Amino acid sequence: MTEDYRAINRANWDERAPAHAASSDYSVEQFVSDPSFLSQVVTFDVPRLGDLTGVRGLHLQCHIGTDTISLSRLGATMTGLDFSPASLAEARRLAERVGADVDFVESDAYDAVDALGAGEFDLVFTGIGALCWLPDVRRWAHTVADLLRPGGRLFLREGHPMLWALDEERTDVLAVGYPYFEVPDALVFDSGGTYVETDVVFANNLGYSWNHGLGEIVTSLLAAGMELTALEEHDSVPWDALPGQMRRDGPLGEWRLTDRPERLAASYTLQAVKRG
């Protein structure tokens, strides 16, 4: 595994953060104009989140803070953590513009306990393009468990490992092109694009990512002292994950296969509670 994957991935995210904040896909201006506006991601999660009033929540890998601020609008006292200073600058700017009392902390996900302390949170919220940047899902699961108080909850909605295993350049057929299981070697990509509408031309296009099988994720959480309380697979994701093969539909604006969406688990929601 490359030792400098963090620096390479951080440069990639730092460059994309301002473009994401400026893109209509992240709806930053709607957060400003409508105090009750929630991100598309959190809107999907609302029926599963329950009452967040007074909950001490941590959003791991919070990016530009739109989901973090949405959770704070639902009543949680939120902290967002990310390793990208440019992402956090956008998150802090948005929080200030909308008057949201949210802390944003710069740290690698694996160093979150050093940055924030152990057992401090009732809720760890993460996902939608988060786990794929971390090489070792066991280490992530232990970090999540350490961050939670006994009885505290993990809420993870993430792209399905089956989706991450598909070769997005094959538009004629669903083709398994990448590992489903976690392997030590990163998947190295060099792609000038991003997942939102933007005209920005990027220079830092290298990225290192890893897949983690669903069984590996569940087993890692159980081994870290978490109890699984919910696992739902969905036929949709919040972004156009397979361009040319997906269509945006439904009231939540999610993307699913145009042809027979029941063929693919595109994302999942996993909830787990720290054993007390």
Ligand X SMILES: C[S@@+](CC[C@H](N)C(=O)[O-])C[C@H]1O[C@@H](n2cnc3c(N)ncnc32)[C@H](O)[C@@H]1O
Which residues of this protein are in contact with ligand X, per CB under 6 A?
A: 6, 9, 13, 61, 63-64, 66-67, 82-84, 87, 108-109, 128-130, 133-134
Tokens of 232: 């739902």
**In whole angstroms, what is the distance from residue 157 CA to residue 47 CA?**
13
CA neighbor of 125 nearest in space, from 70, 88, 84, 83: 70
CB of 275 to ligand X, least distance (A): 26
**Closest CB to ligand X among residues 196, 222:** 196
The single-letter DSSP state of residue 3 is T
Contact indicator for 198, 28 with CB cutoff of 8 Å: no
**Closest CB to ligand X among residues 71, 109:** 109
**Planar angle of CA 234, 240, 243, nearest 5 degrees:** 120
Which residue has its beta carbon closest to ligand X?
A: 129
CB of 65 to ligand X, least distance (A): 8
Contact indicator for 103, 80 with CB cutoff of 8 Å: yes
**Closest CB to ligand X among residues 97, 275:** 97
CB of 98 to ligand X, least distance (A): 16
Tokens of 23: 């893109």
**Closest CB to ligand X among residues 40, 77:** 40
**Closest CB to ligand X among residues 3, 259:** 3
**Closest CB to ligand X among residues 44, 180:** 44
**If you search the block for the tokens 């991450």, which residue do you land on?**
164
CB of 151 to ligand X, least distance (A): 25
CB of 214 to ligand X, least distance (A): 18
Phi, psi (5° rounding) for residue 48?
-100, -15
**In whole angstroms, what is the distance from residue 243 CA to residue 269 CA?**
23
**CA-only gyration radius of the chain, Å:** 18
**In whole angstroms, what is the distance from residue 18 CA to residue 64 CA?**
9
CB of 94 to ligand X, least distance (A): 11
**If you search the block for the tokens 């809720």, which residue do you land on?**
123
